[in-house]
Amino acid sequence: MKDSSSFMFADEFPDQRSEASHPIQPLPAWKILVVDDEEEVHSVTRLVLSDYQFAGRRLEILSTYSAEEARHTLEQHPDIAVGLIDVVMETDHAGLELVKAIRQELGNSRIRLVLRTGQPGQAPEETVISAYDINDYKDKTELTATKLRTLMYSTLRSFRDITALESSRRGLEQVILSSSHIFEITSLQRFTSAVLMQLTSLLNLSEHAAYFKVASGFAVTREGNGYHVLAGTGSYEPLVGQHNCHNMLEKPVYDALEQATRERCNQYFDEHMVAYFETRSGQVHLLCISNVGQLNELDRQLIEIFCTNVAIAFENTHLKDELEQTQQETVYMLGEAVESRSKETGNHVKRVAEISYLLALKAGLSEEEATIIKSASPLHDLGKIGIPDAVLNKPAKHSAEEWEVMQRHVGIGYEMLRTSNRPILQMASIIAHQHHEHWNGRGYPNGLQGEQIHIAGRITAVADVFDALACDRCYKKAWELDAILELFRRERGAQFDPRVVDLLFDNLDQVLLIRERYRDAFRPPPVSDSRPSGSP
């Protein structure tokens, strides 16, 4: 039998306060688990520690009366900081078996475990300390009020430091994983969105992150005296795409952006932070996260490490973005040069590219596949560069011989592009070769049918004919929209892939917006309307 009377406090309770001198912050309490089958032990422990604080945080005492009940509580509360465990409960070694289960079966190495016993002879101190992974071993007669409170300081300090080390390790792992993830992203807009998400995730590693509101944020590029919003989460998501968000942001948030821009470094405030990035070309990117709460030194160190990696990635992504934009502009200029030679409209290739991109996404292609089609489609008529002017710009109907010459442009374009091993030019060669093939097999040059025609060729065919019919050409006037739609209804399943035609109709409003955005500044004077529909 246990002698519960041996558990006693010999002195009065001194008025000891928290190490923290500042007022209690709204932080979660330290969880203390008391495991003892004597109610008196629980009552006295609560009394002694009722006003106790450590690092500005009070205690939450969880009482259990057996090893089995304690184990269940530990499974529900893996964040318990300290366990005060009696040795003798339902069995003479119940507490020792519980310690073994906590360390080995539950895998909890953070919790500080203190064994308390009223019968030290049944579990000798030296034997227990050497055989079990505990942090202290106390005879209940030793634990006066002062010593119990002192014990709380030492165990909670230890738990806090271990938690900080684990948080640091997890944080560094997250920095590495986050950095490797964002380095894989090539689109600047997707990149900034990913950085925003990873930074928010990194902040959520903070010890008290769950205690604060859900963090939300946005990423911007500096444009003149304003900001262009590239990405946003939470309450800032509606701002994406805005080119001047001055009147849409809370004044403290906007002022924080301005301060980071002036001082050219990260800025930390009570409820938000701003990360600052500047490329070698002088382009400035900023990420603002709100509702982050008070960030400790570890949080800031992890953020600084992350931002150092992101700065390198921003530079690489910016250079790649510049290269891709230059490449795209070169493709547009080449496509427009071909169109200009055949006296076509200047923005036709841009509209075909954008409409093709839209239809590709709606058809279920990936962002990468749709982007390649968008980049390649402006070269769909590159082969016209090898067609004589007299044939290319003839305002009247072509003769059979002239039509044969005209059809050669798909082969010329294909041969010019097919030798490249670049994905965009490879796709351009396919589109150039197949965008005049018909779904029913009556197109040219090879009479391909149905899905024998590459999806990019089928999509570009729809985009090309739709835009061509809507524009004045040297051989025809622009068609009215109703007439264009009627042609597509008639040629659905004949000239055109029926599914792509359906996508055109389903997304007609967006297609018309693209045409409006890239409308021509001028139109060549129409001559006649004698060529058949679908002619190049």
- Residues with active-site annotation: 384
**H/E segment holding residue 406:** helix 400-407
Quick one: how many helices (H) and strands (E) in the chain?
18, 11
Is the CA virtual torsion 293, 298, 302, 304 positive or negative? Answer: positive
**What pairs with residue 387 in β-bridges?**
none
DSSP state string for 115-150: EEES-GGGS-HHHHHHHS--SEEEEGGG--HHHHHH
Q: What is the dihedral of CA 383, 388, 393, 396, to 10 degrees?
A: -110
Whether omega before 238 lies within 30 degrees of 0, making that bond cis, reads: no
Integer angstrom CA distances of residue 447 from 180, 398, 443, 500: 47, 21, 5, 19
Gap between the terminal Cα atoms of the chain = 101
- Segments of 55-110 assigned E as strands: 57-64, 82-86
Q: Which region holds residue 494: left if phi is over 0, alpha if psi is between -120 and 50, else beta?
A: alpha
Closest to 381 (Cα-Cα) out of 421, 419, 345, 422: 345
Paired residues of 222 in beta bridges? 227
Q: What's the CA gap between 260 and 219, in Å, rounded?
A: 13
Q: Which amino acid is at 356?
A: S
- Look up residue 414 and give its two tokens: 């294909």
Contact 141, 188 (CB under 8 A): no
Strand pairing partners for 460? none
123-137 in b/e form (b: 16+ CB < 10 A) is: beeeebeeebebbbb
DSSP codes joined into one string, 187-246: -HHHHHHHHHHHHHHHHTTSTTGGGSPPPEEEEEEEETTEEEEEEE-GGGGGGTT-S--G
Of 445, 373, 451, the closest CA to residue 413 belongs to 445
Strand partners, 226: 223
